[in-house]
Chain A
Amino acid sequence: MLDDLLRIEREFNQALDEAGSDPDAVEAIRVRYLGRKAELTGLMKKLGTLSKEERPAAGKAINILKQKVAASLQNAADQAGNARRTARLAQERLDVTLPPRMPWTGTVHPTTHARRELESIFRGLGYTVESGPEVEDDFYNFQALNMPPEHPARDGADTFYLDGGLLLRTHTSPVQIRTMQNRKPPLKMICPGRVYRRDWDATHLPMFHQIEALVVDEGITMGDLKGTMDVVWKRYFGGRVRTRLRPAYFPFVEPGCEYDISCQVCAGDGCRICKQSGWIELGGAGMVHPAVFEAAGVDPELYTGFAFGLGIDRIAMMKYGIDDLRLLMENDTRFLRQFPL
């Protein structure tokens, strides 16, 4: 009988090998070796013909073989199933290189990008963001900024006038005055916004965007102005940018200056963009003029402050290499869609 078992095991293994991962063949082998008519079942029935001494060992051997066969069959069936699933999944395919189904994606204007980036730099330094009306009067736009009527510096700000002594603000500085009037120092603010000048050519638009910064406290110095510039422009343009102050005249600051950054195109060596100077002028700055403090109700003996301003559109143009001012106002979607959120 043991010989029979050895033969059956050999034949089973051989059959299973031949069946491979064909699920039908595996099933046929199961029926042949474990079914009602299987030889093993027959051997079990023949146990009674054996002697009482032989019977337990033979029964045990048969059972062991049955379990082996069952386990091997299960294993083979699993493999066959896996193979069938794999074969089926292999048939189910999406061309993943097909263009996906996208929702519309919108953008914000490059000037908005520049403004937001600057706002977040200033907010990080503890500045608040303030705003004020675009239609202003002579006091806020000029007189409070130390530009009395007929002041020659008014020539520089070609102004759009409205009826009733009103005008379109030529800078965001009126917001500084309004904030100083409404809030006691210390102040640390920026005021971004639309401004208007009566000037329209290849390098000027009659409406553009400015940001001004103002810090008022006891002990604010022009060194603080210089240091703030250094931080802000390094953050915005990158760590290698250098800042330079040059004396200049603005009625609302004293001492006053213009400030330049090292040219981003030639890294300061001199090129067409910076007219060989290595520097690009960004805006005006200085220490708040005592007359401005007085107009805004701040004690110029107790407090000092610095202010500076810049054109956001220009900064955006520099940052993104935009070489034509008109692009900013045409709203051609082929331009706008290049500036994702």
Chain B
Amino acid sequence: MLVSTNWLRELCPVDATPEQVAAALTARGLTVDGVDRATAAGDVVLDIDIPANRPDCLGHYGIAREIAAAFGAELAPPRNLQETAAPSDELDRLVSVTIEDPELCARYTARLVREVTIGPSPQPIADRLIACGLRPINNVVDISNIVLLETGHPIHTFDYRLVNQGRIVVRAAGQATPFTTLDQLERRLEPDMLVIADDEGPVALAGVMGGADSEIGVDTTDVLIEAAWFSPLSIRRTARRLGLSTDASHRFERGMDPDGVLAAQGLAVHLLEELAGGRAVPGMVDCHPAPWTRKTLELRYQRVERLLGYDPGREAIREALSALQLAPEDGAAGRVRVLVPSYRVDLAYEADLVEEVARHLGLDRLPSTLPLTVAPSEDETVHPLAERARNILAGLGFHEAFNYSMLPEGGDRVWVPDGTLPPVALSNPIAEQLAFLRRSILPGLLQSVDLNLRRGNRDVRLFEIGRVFLPTAAAGSRPDEPLRAGLAWSGLAEPRHWSRDDRAVDLVDLSGAVSGALSHLQPGLEFREERSTLTCFHPGYAVSWRSADNRELAWAGRLHPELLARFDLPQELFLGEIDLDAVLAAGPRQFEYRPIPKVPAVSRDLSLVLGAGTGYRQVVDLLASRPAPATATFEAVDRYVGSHVAEGETGMTIRVILEPYDRTLTDEETERYRMDLIEALESSDLPVKLRA
């Protein structure tokens, strides 16, 4: 809010520079974002950020109150308070007010000023408005803005002739009706929106904006002034649904002072008489079906110390409350009772009074202590593999990337298995490309790789760790949010070096990174590779990892050539995703080390020819199924495709390593085992033969 320091000085004369005033207000919670000496001639304008709980400071008078408390200065009494709230006969004949729902409108006052001459405002009034960022229009409209800016309470002025017989009814719109507001836009009122109506129909959208049909015009002579209290909830709903936030609705939805109508009416009438040559009809219509009683609150002195960590002393506490016009009195033992002013809608809890004391005394008085609390916990909720995965993947040479959790429509369709439930849609996305919650990390990484390649970064290795969002079948329930790690690799397999030729990355490299990550994430985790059917990958180059209990732990592949073409990528891209939740669930509960053998291992090589379609894993599974004289492991030491084997066949040398624990194997035992393996291969259904 833009605030004139000249105006503030009229309401509360203090001997302080605008900068000192700004510092004092900021220290009290009314943050001054700017001190402007340039915009308004002869005035200094403060730009103050008024917190949502302090609607009483949405006018100069409220801010002057804070300044008075801060500097211990005298506050001017409200200007021209209503001399009498009693209606006069004359006014009664001209104006009537009916409130249909006191919940939505607890108070409605009306006054009438006749014989007004519409014209431009005098310069000082215009200057004030300009300083506060408003444009002068005519004296009557300007006066309602001056009242708003000084008292903080919005008023509305009608052309009396255009309110049929002066009969005001405050009611819900009742039915969906078109209504043209002051800004000349036709809006559609919904049945529960609160309107000010005469007996012909709505004349104003209560607390939000007046109607074009009852607007003050150049020929207006009689001005009907409304000052009312509307329910914050109702005003906020209406303003939001119509997308119409005004100075008035902004204030009403934060909560206005029900007694503030008096100061507002008084000032409005005074100014209309003084500046527009009007003559006020005596008296005021004050429809106030459910008058307030002022709230009292109690504060335990000891509570101040308990919340702040220091005891300012009873005297200082009472002085603070008194400076803030909270009228402290003795309460029950050890307590002080305050009478909450009607404009302080924010004061409801004892803690609110502690805050008043704290900010009046200054937060720089707080001691600097440390809590002695010890609160260990065995069940932290942070994902146990998240940081581990980060370290492992960075250790493997990948750079951590961050992408949005949202994707465009269909952005992850080919990246999830068939049958995955559709993604969660945002009801109010900020952009088309961020409209659905991702079900895979990989589409985002693909985009990041694309950006890098376009910028000429040809070696790209990225990883990202984050949640994906998988809807569950149950309606209205939150989606599952498993933690995933995504990897992307394009360009060289190893750093370029003078000692060797460049080699482009292939799927075997990326699979190595995934397998390496899996074995480091959960020591002792057992897993095996199989073919993946995800359609984002080249069908021949797609792998999936499963745990012993058949959970899918990870998947990886070469980007499908169609996607490669669609993104117009200049080089192959390999991508993989690890389901860290699955890895956590599949891992052994406890990891125990295996004693190292006391005798050396022995090995034998089997040179085989694998028939078309036979996988390495099938052969090893068969070999591993045979009884061995010691712990047996298998290694692929050589692979050959070419003229020495038939088309479709693969030459493969598998090294069998036997690791006895403490007894050296005899040559005979080892040889017998080797023969058994050969026999098993030859008698199996697999098209595998010994290489000649």
B-binding residues in A (CB < 8 A): 98-99, 101-109, 111-112, 116, 125-126, 128-137, 150, 152-153, 155-156, 160-166, 168, 175, 179, 183, 185-189, 194, 196, 198-200, 206-207, 215, 217, 219-228, 230-231, 244-249, 251, 254-258, 287, 289-291, 304, 306, 328-334, 336-337, 341
Contact = CB atoms under 8 A, between A and B. Distances in A.
Interface in B632-655: none
A160 B307 contact: no
A217 B395 CA distance: 40
Contacts of B459: 333
A236 to B, nearest CB: 16
A126 B374 contact: yes
Contacts of A162: 424-427, 437
A341 B382 CA distance: 21
B52 A341 contact: no
Given A129-B382, A155-B52, A249-B51, A160 B367 contact: no
Contacts of B374: 126, 186, 188
Contacts of B236: 150, 152
Given A131-B383, A331-B451, A336-B401, A227 B367 contact: yes
Interface stretch (B38-46, B71-79, B314-322, B493-501): B493-501
Interface in B505-536: none
Contact of B358 (A132, A196, A244, A247): A247
Contacts of B475: 164
A70 B239 CA distance: 113
B495 A130 contact: no
Interface string B45-71: 000000111100000000000000000
A186 B373 CA distance: 7
B352 interface: yes
Contacts of A223: 308-310, 366-369
Contact of A188 (B373, B428, B430, B431): B373
Contacts of A106: 393-400, 461, 463
Contacts of B243: none
Contacts of A153: 52-53
Contacts of B394: 106-108, 341
A133 B478 contact: yes
A175 B448 CA distance: 30
Interface string B424-442: 1111111100100100000
Given A223-B366, A334-B457, 11 more contacts: A152-B254, A188-B371, A215-B373, A221-B306, A221-B369, A227-B368, A228-B370, A249-B346, A287-B307, A333-B457, A333-B462
A333 B399 CA distance: 7
B402 interface: yes
Nearest to B445: A331
A64 to B, nearest CB: 54
7 contacts: A106-B400, A162-B424, A254-B355, A289-B349, A329-B402, A330-B448, A336-B399
A221 B365 CA distance: 13
B434 A206 contact: yes
A108 B390 contact: yes
A19 B130 CA distance: 108
Range for the number of chain B residues in contact with chain A: 35 or more
B29 interface: yes
Nearest to A162: B424
B373 A217 contact: yes
B38 to A, nearest CB: 15
Contacts of A247: 27-29, 355, 358-359, 363
B563 interface: no
A156 to B, nearest CB: 7
Contacts of B380: 128-130
Nearest to B404: A207
A100 B678 CA distance: 45
B658 to A, nearest CB: 32
B408 interface: no
Contacts of A188: 371, 373-375
Nearest to A257: B363
Nearest to B476: A164
A183 B379 CA distance: 10
A161 to B, nearest CB: 4
B308 A222 contact: yes
Closest 5 CB pairs of A and B: A104-B397, A223-B309, A221-B309, A247-B29, A249-B51
Contacts of A331: 399, 401-403, 448, 451-452, 462
B402 A109 contact: yes
A5 B73 CA distance: 122
B460 interface: yes
Given A206-B430, A328-B402, A163 B425 contact: yes
A111 B52 contact: no
B376 interface: yes
Given A244-B364, A332-B455, A222 B481 contact: no
Contact of B366 (A132, A156, A220, A222): A222
B375 A161 contact: no
A125 B373 CA distance: 10
Nearest to B464: A331
Nearest to B479: A135
Most chain A CB inside 10 Å of its own CB: which residue of B254, B398, B498: B398
A134 B390 contact: no
A249 B371 CA distance: 23
B428 A161 contact: yes
Contacts of B354: 254-255
Interface string B409-427: 0000000000000001111
Contacts of B370: 125, 224, 227-228, 231
A290 B349 contact: yes
B426 A160 contact: yes
Given A108-B400, A248-B51, A255 B382 contact: no
A246 B26 contact: yes
Nearest to B426: A160
B369 A135 contact: no
B457 A224 contact: no
Most chain B CB inside 10 Å of its own CB: which residue of A104, A137, A199: A104
A107 to B, nearest CB: 5
A294 to B, nearest CB: 11
A217 B375 contact: yes
Contact of A333 (B369, B371, B460): B460
Contacts of B27: 246-247
Given A227-B370, A244-B364, A290-B349, A152 B52 contact: yes
Most chain A CB inside 10 Å of its own CB: which residue of B368, B396, B437: B368
B397 to A, nearest CB: 3
A328 B254 CA distance: 37
B430 A198 contact: yes
A341 B349 contact: no
Interface string B117-157: 00000000000000000000000000000000000000000
Nearest to A206: B430
B405 A207 contact: yes
B91 interface: no
B31 interface: yes
A257 B617 CA distance: 63
A246 to B, nearest CB: 6
B377 interface: yes
B629 to A, nearest CB: 38
A236 B147 CA distance: 49
A112 B481 contact: no
B253 interface: yes
Contacts of A125: 370
Contacts of B479: 135
B371 A255 contact: no
A256 B308 CA distance: 11
Nearest to A313: B402
Contacts of A258: 31
B171 interface: no
B306 A304 contact: yes
Most chain A CB inside 10 Å of its own CB: which residue of B352, B400, B494: B400
Contacts of B452: 331-333
